[in-house]
Chain A
Amino acid sequence: MNFGKQFKEGLLTNNPVTVQLLGMCSTLAITTSMANGIGMGLSVTVILTLANIFIALLRKVIPDEVRIACFIVVIAGFVTMVDLSLQAFFPAIAKSLGVFIPLIVVNCIILGRAEAFASKNTVLASAVDGICQGIGYTAVLLVLCFFRELLGAGTLFGVQIMPKSYVPAGILVLPVGGFLCLGALIAAMQWGLKKAEKKKKEAEKA
C-alpha cells in the first residue's frame, strides 16, 4: 500500500484523461464552466470510489466470464443513486450536466479501473485508487474548465473576471475549443512527463 505513489499516478503519471485517454466524451462535453467541472468531477470520484470498493469486495464472487456485465450493474446502481441525489439537492447542476450524469455508467474510467485495478486488489487499495483516479479526472476537468470559461466567456463560476473590454473567444466554449484545449493539455503533460523521466534516468546514471 503506497498512498503517495497511487496519488501521483492518478494525478500525473497515469492520469485517467491525459495519459490513459479515458472518459474523453464527458471531458470534452461538459468542461465549459467551472461549476460543471466540479459537479462532474465530484460525481465521478464518488461513483468511482464506491464502485471500486464494491467490485473489490465481490472480486472473488464474480465469475470471470460475466465480469463486465457485473461491473456495469454495480456501477449503474451507484450512478442512479448519484443522479437522483443531484436532482434532489443540486437541481441546477443536474440540469446543466444533463445526460452526462447517467452516461457515467459507460464512462471508461470507471469500467477501466474496475477491470484493471479493483478486480485484482484489496478493498482498501481499491478505495484509494478510486479516490486518486477521481482526483486526477477532476483536476483535468478543472484545468480545462478554467481556460475555457475564462477565455471563452470571460467569467469564472459565472462571475465576470475579465475586463469589460475583453472580447470572449467564442470558439473555446464550442466543441472545437474542447478538442483544442484537451489536445494542448495532453501535449503539455506528455512533454512534462517525458522531461521528468529523462531527468530521473540521468540522475540514476550519475
Chain B
Amino acid sequence: MDYKALKLIASSNPHIRSNDDTRSIMLDVIVALCPALVWSIYRFGFRALIAAIVSVGSAMCWEWLYRKALHKPQMLGDLSAAVTGLLLSMVCPVTLPYWMLVLGNFFAIVVVKQLYGGLGKNFMNPALAGRAALVACYASQMTTWFDPNNAQGVKAPVSLIGQSLDGLTAATPMAQIGEDFAGLTATYSVSDMFIGFIGGSAGEISAMMLLFGGLYLIFRKVISWHIPVAYIGTVALLALVFPHGNDPVQYMLYSVFGGGLMLGAFFMATDYVTSPVTKTGQLIFGVGCGLITVFIRTFGSFPEGVCYSILLMNCTTWIIDRHIKPTRFGVVKEAAKK
C-alpha cells in the first residue's frame, strides 16, 4: 500500500518534522564511504572503481526490475539500493569477476530485501547477506585476496578483466593473525594496518579512511556512537585479555585495525532496519557482535567473523527490541516497571 495515499498518519510521539529523509541519510553514507573507496582505487587501481560501479548499477537494476515486475512504486531515488551495492563491492575481493558481483547483488536486493517487503522490512543487512551467499557459492574466488605489496614491493595494478593474478594473491592479516602473529607483525607495522598498506577487500584495508567516514556519520547524526563503540570496544577488550604474543596492546591494535571490523561496526551493524531501536538495545547488539566476531576469529574455521556476527545479531534484533522497551514519557519509573 502506498502510504502517501493515506489521509491520516497517527504515529507515536515526538512529532517533530525534520528535513532528513532516506535519500539524505543514504547520501551521507555514500559520502562517508568515499574516503575508503578512493583509497582502494589508489591501492588496487581502477578495477576497484569499476567493481563499485558495476555493483551499484546492478543493485539498482535488480531493484528496478523486481518492483517493475511486481507493479510496485519505484523507489530508486532513496539510494538505499546504491548503498547496498557499494557496500557489497567493498566487502568482496577486488579481483572477483563482475558477474559474481551481479549475482551477489541479486541475492542481496531481490532475495533478502525485496522478497521480505523492501526497504525497512528486511531482517538482515542485504549487503552482508549477499556476501555470505557469495562465500557459500564461490568460496575460492571469495577468499582469494589481492595484495599489491607482494609483487616484490612493486605496486601492480589489477587487470580490469580476467583475474590471472596467481602469485599476487596473499592471505589477509586476519588469516595470518591466528596462526602466525609474529610473522604478521614482521610483514606489516601497526601504521601499515591503520593507514591501509595491507591486502584485503576494498572495505577493509584502511582503518583510517573508514574511521574518517564513521566519524563523519556520527558528526552528521546519521548513526549514534552506541553500536560502533560497543562493538569495537568488545573486540579490543577481548584482544587485551586474551592476546597472542607478548604484547597485549600490539595484538589489540592488530585485531581492531585488521579485517572488516571498522566497516562492519560503522556502516553495517548500524543499519537502521536491522539493529535495535533503543540505545540500551544498541549497546547489547554491539557487544553481541563483538563477542561473536572474536569467537569466530579465534575458534571458527573462517579467518574473519565480522560478516557472520552482524548477520547473526540481525536475527536477534527483534528479541532485543522486545525486551528493552523505552520508558513511556509521562509515566513514573516505578509504575512503568509494573
Contacts and interface: CB of A to CB of B under 8 A. Distances in A.
Contacts of B141: 167
B111 A167 contact: no
Contacts of A180: 111
A176 interface: yes
A99 interface: no
A180 B136 CA distance: 13
B139 A170 contact: yes
A170 B138 contact: yes
Interface in A170-204: 170-172, 174, 176, 180
Interface string A143-171: 00000000000000000000000010111
B302 to A, nearest CB: 15
Contacts of A170: 136-139
A54 to B, nearest CB: 43
Contacts of A171: 133, 136-137
Interface in B205-227: none
A169 B111 contact: no
A18 to B, nearest CB: 17
B111 A174 contact: no
Interface in B78-126: 103, 111
Contacts of B139: 170
Interface in B192-242: none
Interface residues on A, range: under 10
B136 A174 contact: yes
Nearest to A177: B136
Q: Is the interface of A mostly helix, strand, loop or mixed?
A: helix
Which of A167, A172, A180 has most chain B Cβ within 10 Å? A167
A98 B133 CA distance: 28
B235 to A, nearest CB: 27
Contacts, number: 16
B71 to A, nearest CB: 14
A174 B133 CA distance: 11
Contacts of A167: 138, 141
B212 to A, nearest CB: 35
Interface in B126-146: 133, 136-139, 141
Contacts of B138: 167, 169-170
A88 B25 CA distance: 66
Nearest to A172: B137
A171 B136 CA distance: 5
B248 to A, nearest CB: 38
Nearest to B135: A171
A172 B137 CA distance: 8
B70 to A, nearest CB: 11
Nearest to A184: B111
Nearest to A170: B137
Contacts of A174: 136
A132 to B, nearest CB: 32
Interface string B141-167: 100000000000000000000000000
Contacts of B103: 169
Contacts of A176: 136
B4 to A, nearest CB: 28
A167 B136 CA distance: 13
Which of B111, B137, B138, B139 has most chain A Cβ within 10 Å? B137
Contacts of B137: 169-172
A176 to B, nearest CB: 6
Nearest to A151: B137
Nearest to B99: A167
B167 to A, nearest CB: 21
A171 B111 CA distance: 14
B311 to A, nearest CB: 13
Nearest to B136: A171
A180 B111 CA distance: 9
A198 B141 CA distance: 46
Nearest to B139: A170
16 contacts: A167-B138, A167-B141, A169-B103, A169-B137, A169-B138, A170-B136, A170-B137, A170-B138, A170-B139, A171-B133, A171-B136, A171-B137, A172-B137, A174-B136, A176-B136, A180-B111
Given A169-B138, A170-B139, A172-B137, 13 more contacts: A167-B138, A167-B141, A169-B103, A169-B137, A170-B136, A170-B137, A170-B138, A171-B133, A171-B136, A171-B137, A174-B136, A176-B136, A180-B111
List of 5 A-B pairs having minimum Cβ-Cβ separation, nearest first:
A171-B136, A171-B137, A169-B137, A170-B137, A174-B136
